[in-house]
Chains A and B, each alone.
Chain A
């Protein structure tokens, strides 16, 4: 029997129509995600990683539009789905955790009310009492005392609020959770706890997870497979172990050499020259060529396709040939 993927994205392109011209924030992105898998989306600001995450929820903010491609969740192409059906996917089948727990909760609503609203929107037949009971169970799994259901968001610390955000994302037992920089606003010790919590909940509930982060260390430690984004493109797509052992794209290779590792002594870091492109006016050809130490003539002219450098290692770079691969 062929295993059906939970999420299948094919040739996705997302545009922002700005006053100064069109910005293609996500360009030609294709990948598949199996049930229960953990995928890391790594990239710097402007790489398109958050836009990609939001487009899976069809929540790309104005003036963004999905310009091309397909997003299939359990075989249903959500791009053509009417809005009311999309609403049942958001929060139901797919949970989303936003970066900033301070602004993602309604300050004048008790924690319980957040859960009741969520549960009853998706399951109108559930009574308020039942919904509150379920919310208490979720809080227990998050390591928060169930009594605190009657507290307001400001009575919780940043780390606790992020736990609540995670609780809201998983309350309806989604098959996929997208966490967009879930710990960037938090301190390292709290970050560790939140990531551990996410990991254990993922196992309990059997969810797939897309972890979006600028911090390659977090992603390398916690993800089965990794997509490295650069200026809207997938630069590299492979397993975490493979990416660490043998990074293929010059960007990934240089990036890994520029991250300090606390376990190494006398580490020599080397900087990547230049800076990421202005997306209003990206370079012709490969987006990385102005910063690339191996740049060739063809790189300035053509956008490289995703090339299979090895069976499960895709890289968008002409150093590995010129023939595009089929995304499996």
Chain B
């Protein structure tokens, strides 16, 4: 088996990643033994994440961005494909090796109400990873916990350590979740919509904290969001997903200056702008996102594409580099 050599600057690399979820058959389908059907949540996705960057997966609900994030940190097992972390193939890691890997990669979830155990005090929840990995306990643990709580702005930390999640606001809970994710000093964090359930006036605070930790702790982020305005503010590079596939990847500058894929263009044109004078001209897309069980032939976007050609229904376009750091999967010129 040929071993891939990665450039050192790449902390994570994902190759031809697929995740198919089987669809529960109905009673009649079981009787007539129809073949298994699958939801192709992630369907052949390849991308590298460079050390120290913020790489964003953007797209609408159901595009596979969250599933991709969970595959990368091995919370889900892929149907096929490879995941590399610091040159190491981690696709098949199990047991103790996987546990050790988890020290280096963490995840923050969307819902701060569901991601903290309601019966655990904040201090215990945030310090839990230290105990799990046998790194510190007792007074040592408390010292580290107080330190990270201070870092995420839950001050005075001595007070927060004894509170239960229900005594915290949504924004404070997300700070606690952030504290828990950095307590093991990981190298890489997947942040899955970390601000979409938080009040508008608190979002910037959480984003600023994340940006601060990137510098301070040398972190790399995989940021997952449906909100392109947030993506533009935070990211270095952005990948736009549609129905399980990446249809465009580019540096933030390139992507927003010159979006190439018709879907990216439509997505960008639909984003409201906080300005009453600005009259956007949204690009009309036909219909809605089709089901990931019956993916359209050829380019999966073609039934909705305003500029489609004949080939689009027949051949699936490859992701090709059209200029430096800008890849598009589209048959159009």
Chain A residues close to B by CB (< 8 Å): 44-45, 157, 159-160, 187-192, 196, 214-218, 220-221, 240-241, 243-244, 251, 254-256, 258-263, 265, 267, 269-273, 275-276, 278
Residues of B with C-beta under 8 A to A214 = 199-200
- A286 and B180 CA atoms in complex are apart in Å by 35
- A256 and B273 CA atoms in complex are apart in Å by 11
Chain B residues close to A by CB (< 8 Å): 60-61, 169-172, 199-205, 207-208, 226, 228-230, 232-233, 253, 256, 266-268, 270-278, 280, 282, 285, 288-289
Choose one: A218, A262, A275; the contact of B256 (CB below 8 Å). A262
- Contact across chains for A258 and B203 when beta carbons are under 8 A apart: yes
- Contact across chains for A187 and B60 when beta carbons are under 8 A apart: yes
- Contact across chains for A217 and B274 when beta carbons are under 8 A apart: yes
- A271 and B171 CA atoms in complex are apart in Å by 13
Choose one: A241, A244, A275; the contact of B274 (CB below 8 Å). A244
With A244-B276, A262-B256 as given contacts, are A192 and B201 in contact (CB-CB < 8 Å)?
A: no
Sampled A-B contacts (9; CB under 8 Å): A160-B288, A215-B200, A217-B271, A259-B229, A261-B273, A262-B271, A270-B204, A271-B201, A272-B205
Choose one: B200, B256, B268, B272; the contact of A221 (CB below 8 Å). B272
- Contact across chains for A159 and B288 when beta carbons are under 8 A apart: yes
Residues of B with C-beta under 8 A to A243 = 276
- Contact across chains for A260 and B229 when beta carbons are under 8 A apart: yes
- A263 and B253 CA atoms in complex are apart in Å by 12
- Contact across chains for A221 and B276 when beta carbons are under 8 A apart: yes
- Most chain-A CB neighbours within 10 Å: which of B201, B228, B273? B201
- Contact across chains for A192 and B270 when beta carbons are under 8 A apart: yes
Residues of A with C-beta under 8 A to B282 = 192, 196
Chain A nearest CB from B323 CB (Å) reads 19
- Most chain-B CB neighbours within 10 Å: which of A187, A191, A255, A278? A187
Closest to B63 in A: A187
Residues of A with C-beta under 8 A to B61 = 187
Residues of B with C-beta under 8 A to A269 = 204, 207-208, 233
- Contact across chains for B270 and A191 when beta carbons are under 8 A apart: yes
- A276 and B280 CA atoms in complex are apart in Å by 32
Choose one: B202, B207, B229; the contact of A275 (CB below 8 Å). B202
Closest to B203 in A: A258
- Contact across chains for B201 and A272 when beta carbons are under 8 A apart: yes
Choose one: A220, A271, A278; the contact of B276 (CB below 8 Å). A220
With A218-B272, A221-B276, A261-B273 as given contacts, are A44 and B60 in contact (CB-CB < 8 Å)?
A: no
- A220 and B169 CA atoms in complex are apart in Å by 27
- A251 and B60 CA atoms in complex are apart in Å by 31
- A260 and B226 CA atoms in complex are apart in Å by 14
Choose one: A188, A215, A259, A261; the contact of B60 (CB below 8 Å). A188
Residues of B with C-beta under 8 A to A244 = 274-277
Chain B nearest CB from A279 CB (Å) reads 11
Q: A243-B276, A255-B201, A271-B202 are in contact. List 20 more A-B contacts (CB 8 A).
A: A160-B288, A188-B60, A189-B266, A189-B267, A214-B200, A217-B273, A218-B272, A220-B272, A221-B272, A221-B276, A241-B276, A258-B200, A260-B232, A262-B273, A265-B256, A267-B233, A269-B208, A270-B204, A276-B201, A278-B169
Residues of A with C-beta under 8 A to B256 = 262, 265
Residues of A with C-beta under 8 A to B199 = 44-45, 214, 275-276
Residues of B with C-beta under 8 A to A262 = 228-229, 232, 256, 268, 271, 273
Chain A nearest CB from B288 CB (Å) reads 5
Choose one: B172, B201, B228, B253; the contact of A258 (CB below 8 Å). B201
- Contact across chains for B201 and A254 when beta carbons are under 8 A apart: yes
Residues of B with C-beta under 8 A to A240 = 276
Chain B nearest CB from A249 CB (Å) reads 13
Residues of B with C-beta under 8 A to A187 = 60-61, 226, 289
- A275 and B199 CA atoms in complex are apart in Å by 9
- Most chain-A CB neighbours within 10 Å: which of B267, B271, B282? B271
- A244 and B275 CA atoms in complex are apart in Å by 6
Chain A nearest CB from B325 CB (Å) reads 17
Residues of B with C-beta under 8 A to A276 = 169, 199, 201
Residues of B with C-beta under 8 A to A259 = 200, 229, 274
Chain B nearest CB from A273 CB (Å) reads 8
- Contact across chains for A188 and B200 when beta carbons are under 8 A apart: no
- Contact across chains for A263 and B272 when beta carbons are under 8 A apart: no
Residues of B with C-beta under 8 A to A190 = 288
- A33 and B58 CA atoms in complex are apart in Å by 39
Closest to A196 in B: B282
- Contact across chains for A258 and B204 when beta carbons are under 8 A apart: yes
Residues of A with C-beta under 8 A to B275 = 220-221, 244, 261, 263
- A217 and B273 CA atoms in complex are apart in Å by 5
Choose one: A241, A255, A263; the contact of B200 (CB below 8 Å). A255
Closest to B263 in A: A189
- A181 and B232 CA atoms in complex are apart in Å by 24
- A190 and B62 CA atoms in complex are apart in Å by 14
- Contact across chains for A271 and B204 when beta carbons are under 8 A apart: yes
Choose one: B202, B208, B233; the contact of A260 (CB below 8 Å). B233
- Most chain-B CB neighbours within 10 Å: which of A218, A261, A273, A278? A261
- Contact across chains for B204 and A188 when beta carbons are under 8 A apart: no
Residues of A with C-beta under 8 A to B172 = 275
Chain B nearest CB from A105 CB (Å) reads 18
Residues of A with C-beta under 8 A to B169 = 275-276, 278
Chain B nearest CB from A288 CB (Å) reads 10
